[in-house]
């Protein structure tokens, strides 16, 4: 048990060190944590609301409920892809569990995401969304959101270690996911009930985005049964991924050092 806590401390310390190093290289430093999600939302707002006139009431708020969770997922997966190669020097000197390196990236993205969530909550208050007991459902939704992004992030780190070509495929996959997850449109507008339910079931991000909107925009509880099944499924997959990393521990060391 003590070794687990020691690894968690290492992950957190390394993540904070990377954040400080990144902030020191930028003129606006930590302010970019706030500006980046807002600029992404601004770009899509201009395209869909101003140019295409396809927005609607509170479209900025609607867009932020989709874009901010997506950015968390996207950055976690894409950046985790290079986690092992970025730590090649350390891997060559010390025999440590390789799985800690994508987790360092995930912890780094988690710190940044809290700022994104604060921006989202402030936007909710600006658009007269009242803080109610239903906001407490954000806690399990965010926890499940984290579980959902851990699995593909760990897979991305493995795939990129085997072949750098997977970086391109991962980026293309994230672009595809952006358009099929209901970020710019409401998934409940799909008239065909079968396809709507299929998309919510097959695409966890679509379900999570819908859950954020239900809580923050419509003061409703999410589908708790669906949420519980997601938590269970991805928790099991995380355990499996940990076992895979353990089995490939020395193979991954050779792949990283020989690349």
* Percent of residues, the chain, with pLDDT higher than 90: 46
Residue 55 has pLDDT above 70, yes or no: no
Cβ neighbours of residue 83 closer than 8 Å, sequence gap 6 or more: 101, 102, 104, 105, 157
pLDDT band of residue 239 (cuts 50, 70, 90) is very high
Average pLDDT over residues 186-212: 91
pLDDT band of residue 49 (cuts 50, 70, 90) is low
Average pLDDT over residues 66-93: 89
Closest-CA residue to 153 (of 210, 99, 206, 117): 99
Place of tokens 């950055």: 75
pLDDT band of residue 7 (cuts 50, 70, 90) is confident
Residue 1 has pLDDT above 70, yes or no: no
CA distances from residue 232 to 143, 160, 168, 223 in whole angstroms, order as listed:
12, 27, 30, 15
* pTM for the model: 0.89
Within the chain, what is the greatest distance between any pair of CA atoms?
57
Please give the mean pLDDT across all residues of the chain. Answer: 87
The pLDDT, as a whole number, for residue 166 is: 93
Residue 26 has pLDDT above 70, yes or no: no
Q: How far apart are CA 116 and CA 66, in angstroms?
A: 12
Higher-pLDDT residue of 43 and 61 is 61
> What DSSP letter does each residue of 197-249 carry, written as one string?
HHHHHH-HHHHHHHHHHHHHTT-----HHHHHHHHHHHHHHHHHHHHHHHHTH
Place of tokens 């050092």: 257
* Percent of residues, the chain, with pLDDT higher than 70: 93
């Amino acid at each position: 048990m003590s070794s687990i806590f020691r690894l968690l401390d290492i992950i957190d310390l390394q993540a904070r060190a990377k954040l400080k190093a990144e902030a020191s290289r930028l003129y606006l430093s930590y302010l970019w944590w706030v500006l980046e999600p807002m600029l992404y939302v601004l770009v899509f707002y201009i395209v869909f609301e101003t140019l295409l006139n396809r927005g609607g009431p509170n479209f900025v708020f609607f867009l932020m409920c989709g874009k901010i969770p997506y950015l968390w997922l996207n950055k976690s997966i894409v950046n985790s892809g290079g986690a092992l190669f970025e730590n090649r020097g350390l891997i060559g000197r010390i025999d440590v569990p390789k799985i800690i390196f994508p987790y360092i990236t995930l912890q780094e993205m988690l710190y940044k995401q809290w700022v994104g969530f604060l921006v989202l909550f402030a936007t909710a208050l600006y658009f007269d969304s009242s803080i109610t007991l239903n906001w407490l459902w954000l806690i399990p939704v965010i926890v499940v959101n984290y579980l959902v992004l851990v699995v593909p992030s760990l897979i991305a780190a493995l795939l990129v270690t085997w072949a750098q070509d997977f970086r391109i495929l991962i980026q293309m996959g994230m672009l595809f996911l952006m358009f099929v997850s209901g970020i710019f449109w409401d998934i409940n507008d799909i008239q065909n009930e079968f396809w709507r339910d299929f998309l919510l079931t097959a695409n966890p991000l679509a379900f999570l985005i819908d859950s954020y909107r239900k809580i923050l925009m419509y003061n409703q509880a999410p589908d708790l049964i669906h949420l519980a099944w997601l938590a269970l499924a991805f928790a099991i997959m995380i355990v499996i991924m940990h076992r895979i990393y353990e089995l490939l521990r020395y193979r991954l060391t050779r792949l990283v050092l020989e690349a």
